[in-house]
Amino acid sequence: MSENGKILEIIADLMPEALRGVDRLQSRWDAYSIDESLAVPDAQARDVLGRLVDRLKENYPFWHPSYAGQMLKPPHYIASLAYFLAQQINPNNHALDGGPATAKMEVEAVAELAGMFGYGSWLGHLTSSGTIANLEALWVARSLHPDKAIAFSSESHYTHRRMCEVIGAATVEIPVDRAGRMDLDALREELGKGSIGTVVMTTGTTALGAVDPIDSALELRREFDFRIHVDAAYGGFYRLLAEDDRWLDATSAAAFRAIAETDSIVVDPHKHGLQPYGCGSVIFRDPSVGRFYKHDSPYTYFTSDELHLGEISLECSRAGAAAAALWATLQCFPLQAEAGLGPVLRKTRQAALDWADLIEGTPGLRLVLEPELDILAFYSVGEGKNVSGISRLTHRIFAELMNDPDHPLYLAKLNLKPGMLRARDDLVWDARTVTVFRSVLMKPEHLAYVPRLHARLIEQLKNLGGV
């Protein structure tokens, strides 16, 4: 049995009792017959499920530590079980009446998220994704400052620009410094023009995992009047490791701690919160922004106690099962540094630090940046310092590793422009961009696997003359 098979066994073990529980709660009502139009013959069901599993072969092994490419991993089995069980009832968290139990779970889970970021008062809810969560935050930003622009960095998620188009908001792109963080001198200059209402800051950029200096941006608020929205879709849960400087750089830790003073935040439990897809969240520090949402009752007060999820969400139908899954997961993995989710993130962070050390210690290999979270970018100059050659090597090694018939290994690739390659100005820019490796080490199992990832990389590089 594969290592992952052990998890499937745990699921098979826990499932019967839980299903009996669902049956008990469903049998409180009068007996009735499931309509015959819904029946599927057993043989057909088995056949279809068998073919489905067969078709799922056409995937990369997202659950396995040899997959160290994009931000992908399966949910925790507690989340999967909770989702499946709640789905037997299929509550809809668009309104209290659509799912009273899961609406309460959603409020409790979002309270935990708000507490993690240090928001005292708050208004927030789960969303189907980080994109929708950001859309909602930007929509509120535009509602508060209809005549002002929304600023984001050139390394921010590509959906900010798109969503600003959707809501018809003017945008300003702020350049980044060599660490991939928003350049605050450039921001100050733009703020000086008086046209910016909200600045989007990212804690964990998608490409490089860079953390924008929120603490320093807060100081700018003494001079200029603007809101800060934090896009922590990927990195938000790293707030758990930011109480001191043991796990994160002092600058990133300070940025995470400063989130408490910002105006809104987006975090994706379906990234680092062990959830299946369909679970983002948006939280506002000022509950009175609830006034911008169309709601049924003019007498509703938007405080955390009187939150009506259906009235404060841009989306209508939302899976109550997603709230159940997050709630159940947080029961097992509380948002703490020393227990629960914290130790999981410490391992993913350590995996990145370990691999960064190995890369720095290998002649011919270079890091693009010291990792701030658990995302690494690196390249080989073994074939020379022309960026066209570096890109060629990246493409070839990427393919060789992935197509290895015995021990395939999956990385991702990233295109960078000049300026993002630290103080390494010795590269010869014979092309407009350079393609480097990118690796997201978001599974705790990556920690033990890093030496193998590195050994396989080195082996391929040697084969192709890259070190």
Ligand X SMILES: *Cc1c(COP(=O)(O)O)cnc(C)c1O
Residues that bind ligand X (CB under 6 A): 129-131, 134, 157, 159, 202, 206, 231, 233-234, 268, 280
Short-list 327, 340, 341, 344, CA closest to 83: 327
Q: Judge residue 255's burial from the number of C-beta atoms within 10 Å of its C-beta, 0-12 exposed, 13-18 middle, 19 or more buried.
A: buried
Whole-angstrom distance between the N-terminal and C-terminal Cα of the chain? 37
By beta-carbon proximity to ligand X, the closer residue of 206 and 264 is 206
Type of residue numbered 118? G
- What is the nearest approach in angstroms of ligand X to the Cβ of residue 340? 22
Cα separation, 460 vs 467, in Å, equals: 9
- What is the nearest approach in angstroms of ligand X to the Cβ of residue 279? 8
Short-list 153, 118, 353, 343, CA closest to 248: 353
Pairing assessment for the beta strands 434-440 and 412-416 based on DSSP bridges: antiparallel
By beta-carbon proximity to ligand X, the closer residue of 267 and 411 is 267
By beta-carbon proximity to ligand X, the closer residue of 155 and 311 is 155
> Roughly what angle, to the nearest 10 degrees, separates helices 159-167 and 130-144?
50
Q: How many residues does the chain have?
A: 467
By beta-carbon proximity to ligand X, the closer residue of 130 and 389 is 130
Cα separation, 394 vs 252, in Å, equals: 29
Type of residue numbered 443? K
Sign of the dihedral through C-alpha 76, 78, 84, 89: negative
Q: Are 262 and 141 in contact (CB under 8 A)?
A: no
- What is the nearest approach in angstroms of ligand X to the Cβ of residue 91? 22
By beta-carbon proximity to ligand X, the closer residue of 329 and 391 is 329
- What is the nearest approach in angstroms of ligand X to the Cβ of residue 156? 7
By beta-carbon proximity to ligand X, the closer residue of 175 and 465 is 175
- What is the nearest approach in angstroms of ligand X to the Cβ of residue 49? 28
- What is the nearest approach in angstroms of ligand X to the Cβ of residue 266? 7
- What is the nearest approach in angstroms of ligand X to the Cβ of residue 237? 12
Main-chain dihedrals φ then ψ at residue 40, nearest 5 degrees: -125, 125
Q: For ligand X, which residue has the nearest CB?
A: 130
By beta-carbon proximity to ligand X, the closer residue of 84 and 234 is 234
